[in-house]
Amino acid sequence: MNIFFQIDGGLGKSIMATAMVKAIKNKYKKSKLYVVTAYPDVFLNNPHVEQTFRTDQINGVYLKYIKDKEAKVFVEDPYRNSNFILETQHLFQTWCEIYGLEYNGESPELYLTQPEIDYFTPFYKTDKPIMAIQPNGGPQGQGFNYSWTRDIPEPVVLDVINHFKEKYTIVHIKREDQPKYPDTLHALDGFRSIAILLQLSQKRLLIDSFGQHLAAAMNKPSVVGWVTTNPGVFGYGLHTNILRNKFTKRPLLEQSTYQPFALAQDISTIPYTDLKQVFDSKKIIQALEEL
């Protein structure tokens, strides 16, 4: 049987989907699994995947893989499912239910090659242990470099940097248009090299973005800050999940659709009177110390 599994969305969602390919193959062991994604490099060397296609390069699939053949096509998006929208269960559970699969605790995996590891490791050679941080997320061109609904505010990030900068080399995972911080180095751009950085690091401060999914794939426990997204939907038990503090202002929900907040919202809608109120810096620092 040929099975096509399409993932629509960002890098983090494709990394999460590596858990789904295991769940699919657990049920359809003799199938050939084809993955359609905007991030085919996520599935490089994955033993569960026969072939990966870019989302914009699937013309001709029908004649070659589906017509007159036993086939299944998994294209339903779990983000449109009521259980996801209402946050009643983890995304993996919702995804499996949509496709008639059993969820048995599968988690993300990334298959790095030894040449990759040997090539990128020297770039992160320092005289101190490494702390990796990803305080901001989202794609290029969202219109602003700080989204209050999931990013860690600058005052909190600076508290963390000032606490750890003497003992650690702090490597910042960021887009080019996101804030730069003093006493940090800029991580290499490719996400596979960032996976190696996470593997080499001793401490990790992340948000609900691709970094925390990569850390889970590398089995590297991390401290993850959550503002309006939910670790019960997107998170992992191996991480220390730090929830935001209570809002100090009434949130503006009059324009909300099915969920109260968008993944990216600019600072004009933030329901706090001060950025220092979003997280307790001491709580994050203590969690990092204990990591």
Residues 250-265 have pLDDT tens digits of 999 999 999 999 999 9
For residue 132, give the nearest of 84, 202, 180 by alpha carbon.
Answer: 202
Q: Tokens at residue 91, please?
A: 């995304």
Residues 128, 207 contacting (CB under 8 angstroms): no
Please identify, in words, the CATH class of the domain defined by 119-290: alpha beta
Helix axes 281-290, 154-164, angle to 10 degrees: 40
User: In the predicted model, is pLDDT for residue 144 greater than 90?
Assistant: no
Q: Please name the residue ranges forming H helices in the chain.
A: 11-27, 61, 82-85, 91-98, 114-120, 154-164, 191-200, 210-217, 231-234, 281-290
Residues 169, 129 contacting (CB under 8 angstroms): yes
At 252 the pLDDT is 94
User: For the chain, which residues make up each domain, given as ranges?
Assistant: 2-98, 119-290
More confident residue, 173 or 179: 173
User: In the predicted model, is pLDDT for residue 214 greater than 80?
Assistant: yes
No. of H helices and E strands in the chain?
10, 10
Average pLDDT, rounded, for the chain: 96
Q: Is 114 helix (H, G, I), strand (E, B) or coil?
A: helix
For residue 111, give the nearest of 46, 39, 208, 199 by alpha carbon.
Answer: 46
At 11 the pLDDT is 96
User: In the predicted model, is pLDDT for residue 177 greater than 90?
Assistant: no
Q: Tokens at residue 213, please?
A: 């999914």
Q: How far is the C-alpha of 42 from the C-alpha of 157, rounded, in Å?
A: 29
Query: Model confidence at 139, in pLDDT bands (50, 70, 90)?
Result: confident
At 221 the pLDDT is 98
> What ranges make up the beta strands (E) of 208-252?
223-226, 240-243
pTM for this predicted structure: 0.96
User: In the predicted model, is pLDDT for residue 145 greater than 90?
Assistant: no
